[in-house]
Structure 1
């Protein structure tokens, strides 16, 4: 709930509350009386609201504080009841000796201060409830205002926490890939290979994308696949012709997906698949983007000795954390090892729930 009233300065909010409180009381009484009583009604309600406000602020900022309640329930109750009596008596005293002379024409009879202060029955049943009503309504309004601000604060903190976690998870482009790529490019430069310039260009594109172009919550699947293509071309420098990679892409609609998720899955396939297989490693990458969902799968040949390590890899754990933060329950990721192949299949539903 983002109501503008809760963003007003504190003093303005309090003044606005008491203005509305007095206005409602005046309107309620004036509807049952004639127009000649309007000024009288306004003066009396301002008088009552003043003493009600005093008790309201005592309640909100003193009587209900931990410091006051530490005095004990008996002492606290006595002090509170005495305060109610005193303010109700002062309200009656002010009504008789300040408000009435302003709106009534003399002569009229006025009780003495002593008579007013000792008329406990009239104070308890007439002015006491009036003072307590103002206090109750003020405290109720304060409770909802504080609750709204606290809820907005919690939502803001939750959003900031989520953004920090997402940024942390997205920043985990494998540093080994960068070092290996730089070493490969260095080797190409020594041999004056024509592949040197294209390799530098692809690495530059990857770094530019990771550092600057994927700061949004979502990016298009085409951009993600372009990133993966560049990544694969650089990884091929390490494996020459012994690595076989197949990439199938079907884009019916340009869906938006969280950045670097797909790249992390491909990184795992290279690290734990091709990187551990000294024979003829193979990797199959499939993307299908439809109106309902985006499906991304990575299958790689894998040695049995690294399967368990793969299942518990930090990369896959981080991917799951990021997907839970963004999609909640609207995603699925299955991991399977079968026949010397390790596969990860990810499905992202297009309907994403965000808390506003």
Structure 2
């Protein structure tokens, strides 16, 4: 069951919820004013306590309706939206002084024209005949509740602006991820089709097998990678199929060591997050070596942590400085966007090897991230 004072009640724009909020606010203020001024009215009089309580309650209601509420609503619905949010602080100050005067005059008028006569009827003393003291008394109560209402309005708008900012960030993140994936897919397909083309030129009997495995990879990429996350188990199968496809191409010239361990059956990961590392190993490692090439991949899952270590041989004479291309650039961006502060990526180049170590906190859902708006209280 949702709390009566939960998020929905506080931020709802439905008329019935707004009426309930306003009634709750002003009933609380009237009760507070009554309890505050009751001891003052009871001091030095012989009137029965209940009669004094009713008098104080009536006065609190009158001052609230004709003075305090006027000040609060002018401040919340006119002055703050019109001048404060638009940074016209000079006009805001003038307007603030103006509505203080209006509510002070309203409070004094209520006291003189209504409550003085009521006190006379019940034979209760009217304490002050000073216009200045009457005006100041009205200012004191009005600014108290007005400041409270202004704080509510400003805080609610800050919350809504934060939510709007978060929504923009989430939409931006989604757009960037789609862009990164759209770049990754053609890049990966380009490399794989090049491999297939090389074998078909040689009329290799392995071509049909490569086509079958490629169709399996494409099926995964096109139909299962549209979600924010995919089962880690499927991502691992994808890596295995990719390695098998590359082994068909290179044959005995490629030595692959693959070690996968740990409980990965119930874990999720962002789709196509690991394949750029493996693709990079073949593109800049195996394909540039004329002699024996090798790749070693260790993937281990412990609790919610993924440990990924990939090392491959390379020909330093064929390698440009700063190994990698679109694939690695994209995966770095995706890691920063999807796993901020929950991953560690290291790339180490030596004379004849390239090492990638990735530690990643796995999770089951991806957390994503100014227009001015006035939120009704």
TM bracket (short chain): 0.7 to 0.9
Alpha carbons 1:336, 1:344 under 8 Å: kept: yes
Q: 1:58 corresponds to which residue? A: 74
Q: 1:296 to 1:6 in 2, by over 3 A?
A: same
Question: What residue ranges of structure 1 are gaps of 5+ in the alignment?
Answer: none
Q: Is the 8 A contact 2:316 2:351 kept in 1?
A: no
* CA shift for structure 1 position 276: 2.3
Alignment coverage as a number of residue pairs? 347
Deviation (angstroms), 1:177: 4.0
Aligned to 2:145: 134
Report SS of the residue matched to 1:259. coil
Deviation, 1:106, is 4.9
The farther-off stretch of 157-166 and 334-343 is 157-166
Please list, as runs of the form range in 1=range in 2, the aligned pairs for 1:123-272 lying within 5 A after superposition: 123-173=134-184, 175-179=186-190, 181-182=192-193, 195=206, 197-254=208-265, 255-272=267-284
Q: Aligned residue for 2:3?
A: none
In structure 2, which of residues 53, 56, 59 is the aligned counterpart of residue 44 of structure 1? 59
Q: CA separation in 2, counterparts of 1:336 and 1:195?
A: 34
Q: Structure 1 residues 153 and 70 mapped into 2: Cα distance closer, same or farther (>3 Å)?
A: closer
Separation in 2 of the partners of 1:82 and 1:349?
58
What are the superposed Cα offsets for residues 110-161 of structure 1, whole Å, 9 maximum, x if unpaired? x9xxx99xx5313332212122222111101112211221222222223333
| Gaps in structure 2 of 5+ consecutive residues | 1-5, 43-48, 370-377
Larger CA deviation: 175-184 vs 288-297: 175-184
Which position in structure 2 is the counterpart of 1:20?
24
What CA distance in whole angstroms lies between the structure 2 residues aligned with 1:173 and 1:221?
Answer: 19
- Give the TM-score of the pair, scaled to structure 2: 0.74
Q: Distance in 2 between matches of 1:152 and 1:216?
A: 23
Is the CA contact 1:302–1:340 (under 8 Å) kept in the aligned structure 2?
yes
Deviates further, 50-59 or 308-317: 308-317
1:313 lines up with 2:325 in the alignment: yes
What's the CA shift for 1:222?
Answer: 2.3
The answer on whether the counterparts of 1:18 and 1:49 sit within 8 Å (CA) in structure 2 is no
CA distance in 2, matches of 1:60, 1:164: 37
- Rate the CA distance shift 1:96–1:168 in 2: closer, same or farther, 3 A: same
Alpha-carbon contact 1:272-1:310 (below 8 Å) kept: no
**RMSD of aligned alpha carbons:** 4.0
Query: Which deviates further from its counterpart, 37-46 or 140-149?
Result: 37-46
Q: How far did 1:272 drift?
A: 1.0
Aligned partners of 1:312 and 1:179: how far apart in 2?
A: 15
Displacement over 6 Å in runs of 4+: 186-194
* Matched residue, 2:286: 274
Highest RCO, 1 vs 2 (Cα 8 Å, sep ≥ 6): 2
Range 230-239 or range 182-191, more displaced: 182-191
Match of 2:45 in 1: none
